Amino acid sequence: MEERGSPDGDPARNLEQGPEGPETPIQVVLRVRPMSAAELRRGEQSVLHCSGTRTLQVSPPGGGTDLAFRFGAVLDGASTQDDVFRACGVRRLGELALRGFSCTVFTFGQTGSGKTYTLTGPPPQGEGVPVPPSLAGIVQRTFTWLLDRVQHLDVPVTLQASYLEIYNEQIRDLLSLGAPRPLPVRWNKTRGFYVEQLRVVEFGSLGALMELLQMGLSRRRSSAHTLNQASSRSHALLTLYISHQTQMPPVDPGEPPAGGKLCFVDLAGSEKVAATGSRGELMLEANSINRSLLALGHCISLLLDPQRKQSHIPFRDSKLTKLLADSLRGHGVTLMVACVSPSAQCLPETLSTLRYASRAQRVTTRPQAPRSPKAKPPQHLETELLQLQEENRHLRSQLGQMDPKASGLSGARLAWAQRNLYGMLQEFMLENERLRKEKRQLQSSRDLAHGEQRILAQQVRELERRLLSACYLQQPVPGPAPPCPCVMLPPLLCHAPPPLCPRCQLCPLCCAPLAHWACPRRELHLPQMFSSKAPADGPPSTRPPPWVPPCCPSSAKCSRERSQSEWVQTQVLAEMLTEEKVIPSAPPLPVGPLNTSPVLRGGAAVPNLARRLEALRDQIGTSLRRGRSQPPPP
């Protein structure tokens, strides 16, 4: 039978046009196998009819509504292996692989629907017995076509092959020198998912390649069950690597050369365990096959959803989806051959395959050939490059206009910073370091200012107390004496500073006898007060401590002692009188009405304090002068 055309032209020729742009849909063709002898014997009916070369009609038994499915090409049971090869568009993929693209052909469908037959022909009839040429599948025909094509190329090409199977979620090398052993799947940025330590064999002739294929086919797992006497129990991936000798050799010796790739995937068929009668190991295999096919279906569904396509696709869910990730969403060109049985008995599975295939047609990839060093960049990339260069020039000129002094950079460093981003980063780091140093200096001067402020605050408080005390002591009181502020005080605790002269026991302000300060252990509480200022003669009990209050003005001794200790005493009294709290370190938050004395806060209060201090000094001087000029109170 000759190549089958279509009303729109040859589907193969449509595919020969190459990647149609940035997004290329997955190409899907359908193959319907003929009714088998067993099915005919059982009197089963065919429910599938081809209408033209691209549409399939499904007529459900019992007179249900017909369904129509449209694909890139539909090949019915009468089609030969050669028809399939010519119509499916695999030659276009071969061409793309020669140009450096990564291409994948895979068959899928129910078990016994003819997937393996379509790809590699009927099962081997014996060890080393090749498939008859007329029954050879897409794989052998592509080999022949490709090697012929390579011979006519101007540049020498290196051809290599690998062959693996995924059996029960384990990867086995079908070309391994010893017995196949499980191999790990790895991922890296440049290669995507790949199988580590997979044997990649170089071949120079069609005969050598066919031998590799035979070797792999004979090692592949297959078993007999109700629907298929030689059912594949694994997914098989046969890959051809095509590299031009002008291309760079791979950096890693275990890595296949950079170049085009053509991968044939023979999926194990989905199966209903009940229908195939699988038990024991067969059932385990069937479950594992179904699970990986389910993962594949799930990935395809997500890829179809335009919203989800940008997000996560669970390619890692199975080894199969990992290895097909690049074909489904990556930069590859993909061809699917959906295989179906025409029998009415298989209708549910057939419909499921048809729906699956219809959806897969809407999945797109972005084919990209690996760039060779000599390759010219595509037009849009060239434009983008020019735009970026222009922007770069513009930014450089803007940077050049900046005043180097204003930016704090020296001329040479600025030029260096302009040269690259790394230079700019260095500049930022230096700038940051400078700012950090400045911040540290500011912090230490702020601490100094705080210290100074505390000292000033203490001085102010002391002077205020002195002033208060001086006012009480020096000013004549006309009429009845005002009530002594000390009577409003709570009874002094033993640890409170002693306010009274221990000799006369009189209030320093009103001179009233005050007996309530009588803590016998007072000396223990203020040991620092018993300093060398006190006269050394006399026993300690009689020695007046420095905090003694100003004594009766008539007592000469007391007036002498007052010069040393009166301010300590008046400070204590003033503190109690004004009920001012002593702030150990930080100043309090401002509270109270606006006309109250300013509350110290931070370095800004220091000048205020200094002014207050000055004013207090003046006031004290004035009151003392006035006090001296007046006679002492009785």
**Which residues are at the interface with ligand ADP (CB under 6 A)?**
33-34, 36, 109, 111-117, 122, 228, 230-232, 269, 339
272 is in an annotated binding site: no
Which spans in 310-420 are helix H?
319-328, 347-360, 379-401, 411-419
Encoding tokens for residue 191? 């290669």
Shortest CB 342 distance to Mg ion, Å: 18
Taking the C-alpha atoms of residue 17 and residue 90, their distance in angstroms, rounded to an integer, is 13
Minimum CB separation of residue 353 from ligand ADP in Å reads: 10
Site string for Mg ion, 182-221 (x = CB under 5 A): ----------------------------------------
CB of 62 to ligand ADP, least distance (A): 26
Q: Which is nearer to ligand ADP, 102 or 113 (CB)?
A: 113
Nearest approach, Cβ of residue 358 and Mg ion (Å): 22
Query: Which three-class secondary structure state does DSSP give residue 235?
Result: strand
Type of residue numbered 203: F
Which C-beta is closer to ligand ADP: that of 72 or that of 112?
Answer: 112
Q: According to CB under 5 A, which one of 24, 116, 327, 343 is a site residue for Mg ion?
A: 116
Cα–Cα distance, 531 to 566 (Å, whole number): 15
The whole-angstrom separation of Cα 236 and Cα 384 is: 41
Per the listing, tokens 């051959």 go with 337
Question: Bridge partners of 167?
Answer: 170
Minimum distance from CB of 197 to ligand ADP (Å)? 28
- What is the arrangement of strands in the sheet containing 48-51, beginning at the earlier edge strand? 48-51, 55-58, 67-70
34 binds, among Mg ion, ligand ADP, none (CB under 5 to 8 A by kind): ligand ADP
Quote the least distance from Cβ 119 to ligand ADP, whole Å. Answer: 8
For residue 314, what are the contacts with CB-CB under 8 A and spacing of at least 6?
295, 298, 299, 302, 321
- Name which of Mg ion, ligand ADP, none residue 519 binds, using a CB cut-off of 5 to 8 Å depending on partner kind: none
Which of Mg ion, ligand ADP, none does 230 bind, CB closer than 5 to 8 A by kind? ligand ADP
Cα of first residue to Cα of last residue in the chain, in angstroms, is: 144
Give the span between the Cα atoms of 343 and 351, in whole angstroms: 12
112 known member of a binding site: yes
Residue 24 found at the interface with Mg ion (CB under 5 A): no
Q: Is 109 annotated as a binding residue?
A: yes
Q: What's the closest the beta carbon of residue 38 comes to Mg ion, in angstroms?
A: 17
CB-nearer residue toward ligand ADP: 166 or 417 = 166
Q: Is 111 annotated as a binding residue?
A: yes
Q: 513 has which bridge partners?
A: 506
Ligand-binding site membership of 444 (annotated): no
With CB under 5 A as the rule, give the number of residues binding Mg ion.
3
State which residue, 97 or 339, has the beta carbon closest to ligand ADP: 339
8 Å CB contact between 336 and 352: no
Q: Which does residue 321 touch among ligand ADP, Mg ion, none (CB within 5 to 8 A, set by kind)?
A: none
Q: Is the dihedral of CA 563, 564, 565, 568 positive or negative?
A: positive
**Which of 55, 73, 108, 65 minimizes the C-alpha distance to 352?**
108
What phi and psi, each to the nearest 5 degrees, are found at residue 404?
-60, -35
**In angstroms, what is the minimal distance from the CB of 155 to Mg ion?**
37
Q: How does DSSP classify residue 372?
A: P
Q: Which does 117 bind (CB under 5 to 8 A by kind): ligand ADP, Mg ion, none?
A: ligand ADP
Residue 228 contact, options ligand ADP, Mg ion, none, Cβ 5-8 Å cut-off depending on partner type: ligand ADP
The Cα 366–Cα 85 span in angstroms is: 24
Nearer to Mg ion, 81 or 571 (CB): 81
**Quick one: which of 107, 158, 232, 292 contacts Mg ion (CB under 5 A)?**
232
Structure token pair of residue 286:
């069937």
Q: How far is the CB of 114 from ligand ADP (least distance, A)?
A: 3
Identify which of residues 265 and 486 has a Cβ nearer to ligand ADP in the complex: 265
> Is 110 annotated in some ligand binding site?
yes
For ligand ADP, which residue has the nearest CB?
Answer: 114
Rg over CA atoms, the chain = 50
The whole-angstrom separation of Cα 139 and Cα 119 is 6
401 annotated ligand binder: no
SS (H, E, C) 162-221: EEEEEECCEEEECCCCCCCCEECEEEECCCEEEECCCCCEECCCHHHHHHHHHHHHHHCC
Nearest-approach distance from CB 315 to ligand ADP, in angstroms: 24
User: Would you say 376 is a known binding-site residue?
Assistant: no
113 binds, among ligand ADP, Mg ion, none (CB under 5 to 8 A by kind): ligand ADP
Which does residue 339 bind out of ligand ADP, Mg ion, none, counting CB within 5 to 8 angstroms by kind? ligand ADP
Whose Cβ is closer to ligand ADP: residue 137's or residue 549's? 137
8 Å CB contact between 277 and 225: yes
Structure tokens at 99: 């140009």
Known binding-site residue numbers for ATP = 109-116
Instruction: Give the interface with Mg ion as residue ranges (CB under 5 A).
Output: 115-116, 232
Known binding-site residue numbers = 109-116
